[in-house]
Homo-oligomer: A and B are copies of this chain.
């Protein structure tokens, strides 16, 4: 809870016995979003959601957010709608902050750097989140053990599927200015409730948020824990929008497209966590479905860190999974 604002510093008071989790995320125009494609409310929402998702992956509760924002001067002026780009950006950010009761406790604003050769500037937003986490209870990436069950929340591939749809038709969602769980790219939902439940119920040995795609973030988890993982293709929860993408491409039916998006599409902001072998994994945590998709196994020399099992009839085939998650727009 912040005690002061408008002074040289803001003051934040963690609860007794709590460590402070800190995460910073830059959101840069042309790198993380495109002004002609993303509604300003979505840019603000996604900016805060990235940081909240990092807190969720640690099992922390949000204490305060700080925003450093650089915008070109013209984006501070009212547009035809009566509100400026910057106001609409803050609308989106503050709506999500209100939902999770995160005070925006300070930050810094500046006119966007402008190239001297011509008259333009780009948006740069840096979000800082502070969270409280009971000492020695933070969910790291390195605590998984061989035999642990591998679980994910929600469904995967939706953000990448919606991004692909947006890239096909950049103006399709310009009017979508309110947070909605049906729009996983524009309005991703951080899994703070899940993270808190994982800590409270001692359910997880390690956790990470799926920001770069399941394949890439599972690699991180394996590397940090010194283990390998195998996942069951049929168990991976595929987002309806990713399923739909199998039929929506210009080249007709694309079988396996949904699974590909679920494996490698980024920015789903679901949680990937490991649960001790003996424990029952609940079907849902904090209202979010949970699926067991595989298990952690010992590393073996010459074997890929992540493999995927696919069954057809009585036969099970094994495929290596390479980390090939989300790429920047640039």
Within 8 A of B (CB), among A20-54: 20-26, 28-32, 54
* B208:A8 contact, CB within 8 angstroms: yes
Task: Identify the closest chain B residue to A109 (Cβ).
Answer: B26
* B114:A330 contact, CB within 8 angstroms: yes
Residues on the B chain within 8 Å of A105, using CB? 22
Q: How far is the CA of A123 from the CA of B105 in the complex (A)?
A: 25
* A58:B24 contact, CB within 8 angstroms: no
Residues on the B chain within 8 Å of A122, using CB? 113-115
Interface SS of chain A? strand
Q: A242 an interface residue at 8 Å Cβ cutoff? A: no
Q: A110 an interface residue at 8 Å Cβ cutoff? A: yes
* A113:B28 contact, CB within 8 angstroms: yes
Q: Which of A28, A64, A66, A131 has the most CB of B within 10 A?
A: A28
* A209:B8 contact, CB within 8 angstroms: yes
* B120:A124 contact, CB within 8 angstroms: no
Residues on the B chain within 8 Å of A11, using CB? 19-22, 58, 133, 138
| Other-chain contact of A24, B13, B25, B66 (Cβ < 8 Å) | B66
Number of copies: 2
* B118:A118 contact, CB within 8 angstroms: yes
Residues on the B chain within 8 Å of A316, using CB? none
Q: How far is the CA of A166 from the CA of B68 in the complex (A)?
A: 28
Residues on the B chain within 8 Å of A129, using CB? 9
Q: How far is the CA of A6 from the CA of B54 in the complex (A)?
A: 12
Q: How far is the CA of A140 from the CA of B32 in the complex (A)?
A: 37
Residues on the B chain within 8 Å of A102, using CB? none
Residues on the B chain within 8 Å of A106, using CB? 22-24
* A8:B111 contact, CB within 8 angstroms: no
* A9:B58 contact, CB within 8 angstroms: yes
* B8:A57 contact, CB within 8 angstroms: yes
Q: How far is the CA of A136 from the CA of B10 in the complex (A)?
A: 13
Q: Closest Cβ of chain B: how far from A30's Cβ, in Å?
A: 5
Task: Identify the closest chain B residue to A50 (Cβ).
Answer: B108
* A111:B24 contact, CB within 8 angstroms: no
* A7:B141 contact, CB within 8 angstroms: yes
* A10:B3 contact, CB within 8 angstroms: no
Q: Closest Cβ of chain B: how far from A102's Cβ, in Å?
A: 14
Q: A201 an interface residue at 8 Å Cβ cutoff? A: no
* B111:A31 contact, CB within 8 angstroms: yes
Task: Identify the closest chain B residue to A142 (Cβ).
Answer: B7
Chain A residues within CB distance 8 Å of chain B: 3-4, 6-14, 19-26, 28-32, 54-55, 57-58, 60, 64, 66, 68, 70, 105-118, 120, 122-124, 126, 128-131, 133, 135, 138, 140-142, 207-209, 224, 328, 330
**5 nearest A-B pairs in the assembled complex, by CB-CB distance:** A9-B21, A126-B126, A8-B57, A113-B122, A8-B54
